[in-house]
A and B are shown apart, each in its own frame.
Chain A
Amino acid sequence: MSRKLIEFRDVSFRYGEEQPWVLRNCSFEIYEGEWVAIIGHNGSGKSTIAKLINGLLFPQKGEILIDGQQVNEETIWDIRKEVGMVFQNPDNQFVGTTVQDDVAFGMENRGTPREEMVTRIEETLSAVGMEDYRFTEPHRLSGGQKQRVAIASVLAISPKVLILDEATAMLDPKGRTEIMRTVSNVQNKEDLSLITITHDLQEVVQADRVIVMNKGEIWDRATPREIFSKKDSLREIGLDVPFVAILADELKETGINLTKEPLNHEELLEDLWILHSQT
């Protein structure tokens, strides 16, 4: 296994002295080049994890190491070079007056020379398929396009980790698939760890590993396929089970033996065809 990039050691967090704990004794690691999905219902503490990694919040107990460096007041500016974040609302993270100004914003903050900025803007915008929109103003873009620009502006600073904090939650289905496709493209091309935070089980399918959060604690960690087979307990902690998983379950109940837990329609269909050709 490759290098540890992010490490949580017994991290607990609450917003105030009197407030309940939002996170309790969480420990996990994320490795270089890995795609980890963190899933949980509202208030399970999943977004807090993202803000802790980026140093937007600090834990009361435990410690967080990013690439061997502890997250604290002194190191946050270095850490923010390594960790890029895309938030939920497409509008409220668009700083520039045009697409290229927005992509440049992060680089300007870091004092990147102008010539380098220009080439990076071109590279990252074509990586997310937005190269034709360089001079477009944000109000002329769709939500999905804005999120792609947000991804480009994070990529521009070449981070080691990209965190998508419910980045698809406010998009329509088309925008959602756009983003998921962009993300997996980018992850294939660049040597990047990816953390997607979501409450939609459908979005964990492509991940290498899944961390399931419930009430501030890590409830489970497994591969997407293992998670999909635990439908009943997922429902108990308030997650919606995708249609394919329910269908697979009912097929099994009627006596059709599938070879594996299907993750999407194609897999289920393939399984059924195999079954069909055998009988």
Chain B
Amino acid sequence: MNNSLIIGQYVPGNSLIHRLDPRTKITVIFFFVFIVFFANNVVSYSILTLFAIACIVTSRVPIRFIAKGLTPVWFLIIFTFILHLIVTKEGTVLLEILGFKIYSGGVIQGFAISMRFFLLILVTSLLTLTTTPIEITDAIEEMLHPLKKLKFPVHELALMMSISLRFIPTLMQETEKISKAQASRGVDFKTGPIKERIKAIVPLLIPLFISAFKRAEELAMAMEARGYQGGEGRTKLRELKIEKRDMLIFVLFVFVIAGLFYFRSW
């Protein structure tokens, strides 16, 4: 039961990637997603792939966790490959199956596009694999800080996110309890036609919602009793700090970008 309660896919560790400031990771990944679309030849793709592999190796996250993160998107990657194979009509004809002509351009195009996909998923899943949800929340709060001037409720948003994260396991435990309680009263969640099964969820959801609202009310009262009065004048225990290693990664990443733009064909 405890296994299923781990939120997200965070794999605990103490590698360089784990210890990086979450803001560094988010920024690098943001730009990586951007520059992936500028790669257009073997060398530029190799640079990006090398960078991604280097990140994975330094993160020391076991390959099976990364593979797990990729499972839902394999289909998409293969689908794009096949689509490009069929649609693109450039270069020489390589072979002909059932009247379909496979062009060499299609193979290259398909390979390139699925490679982009693959790299995107790989790098973004590395973020969630090496960063706790709360670190990501903190990073988002810090990065959205300038929006405060526009009266955007940055602190409130971050607090809401962290409270949701804190209550996900609690509500999951409660769901399990309620479903057992209802099952003991004869509600059948597992068999029968789909329509019946959806109906069976109602006696699960209603108690869950009622108790969630009650929790919210009590939590609000407890927070007020502990002196919560909004983001004004608040200090923070969890502090984000840009360290030498973050600068190092930035510099390295700038080299990657420079290399990419130097070697890509214009």
Query: Bound state CA distance, A99 and B256, in angstroms?
Result: 41
Count of inter-chain pairs, beta carbons less than 8 A: 94
For window 142-177 of A, CB contacts with B under 8 Å fall at 153-154, 157
Query: Bound state CA distance, A54 and B218, in angstroms?
Result: 15
B26 in contact (CB, < 8 A): no
A44 in contact (CB, < 8 A): no
A72 in contact (CB, < 8 A): no
Query: Bound state CA distance, A100 and B236, in angstroms?
Result: 12
B226 in contact (CB, < 8 A): yes
Q: Which of A89, A153, A157 has the most CB of B within 10 A?
A: A89
The answer to whether A106 and B227 have CB atoms under 8 Å apart is yes
Known: A91-B215, A108-B234, A111-B235. A97 touches B229 (CB 8 A): no
Query: Bound state CA distance, A111 and B228, in angstroms?
Result: 11
Query: Bound state CA distance, A154 and B225, in angstroms?
Result: 10
Query: Bound state CA distance, A106 and B228, in angstroms?
Result: 7
The answer to whether A111 and B162 have CB atoms under 8 Å apart is no
A260 in contact (CB, < 8 A): no
Query: A109 contacts which chain B residues (CB < 8 A)?
Result: 226-229, 234
The answer to whether A110 and B166 have CB atoms under 8 Å apart is no
Least CB distance, B131 to chain A, in whole angstroms: 14
Query: Bound state CA distance, A54 and B228, in angstroms?
Result: 13
Known: A114-B235, A140-B2. A94 touches B226 (CB 8 A): no
A201 in contact (CB, < 8 A): no
The answer to whether B227 and A100 have CB atoms under 8 Å apart is no
A139 in contact (CB, < 8 A): yes
How many residues in B have their beta carbons less than 8 Å from beta carbons of A?
30
Q: Mark B173-193, 1 if CB is under 8 A from A, else 0.
A: 100000000000000000000
Q: With CB as the reference atom, state the residue of chain B lying closest to A81.
A: B227
Q: How large is the interface on A (under 10, 10 to 19, 20 to 34, 35 or more residues)?
A: 35 or more
Least CB distance, B221 to chain A, in whole angstroms: 6
Q: Which of B166, B173, B233 has the most CB of A within 10 A?
A: B166
Q: Mark B95-135, 1 if CB is under 8 A from A, else 0.
A: 00000000000000000000000000000000000000010
A8 in contact (CB, < 8 A): no
Q: With CB as the reference atom, state the residue of chain B lying closest to A118.
A: B237
Q: Mark A70-114, 1 if CB is under 8 A from B, else 0.
A: 000000010011001101010111111100110011111111111
Q: Which of A100, A110, A154 has the most CB of B within 10 A?
A: A110
B165 in contact (CB, < 8 A): yes
B238 in contact (CB, < 8 A): yes
Least CB distance, B72 to chain A, in whole angstroms: 26
Query: Bound state CA distance, A118 and B237, in angstroms?
Result: 8
Query: Bound state CA distance, A196 and B227, in angstroms?
Result: 21
Query: Bound state CA distance, A137 and B173, in angstroms?
Result: 14
Least CB distance, B49 to chain A, in whole angstroms: 35
Known: A89-B218, A92-B218, A117-B237. A138 touches B166 (CB 8 A): yes
Q: Which 10 A-B pairs have the closest CB atoms?
A: A93-B222, A104-B237, A139-B169, A92-B218, A109-B227, A106-B226, A85-B225, A97-B166, A111-B233, A80-B227
Contacts beyond the supplied A89-B215, A95-B166, A117-B237: 7 A-B pairs with Cβ under 8 Å? A56-B224, A92-B222, A97-B162, A107-B235, A109-B228, A109-B229, A137-B166
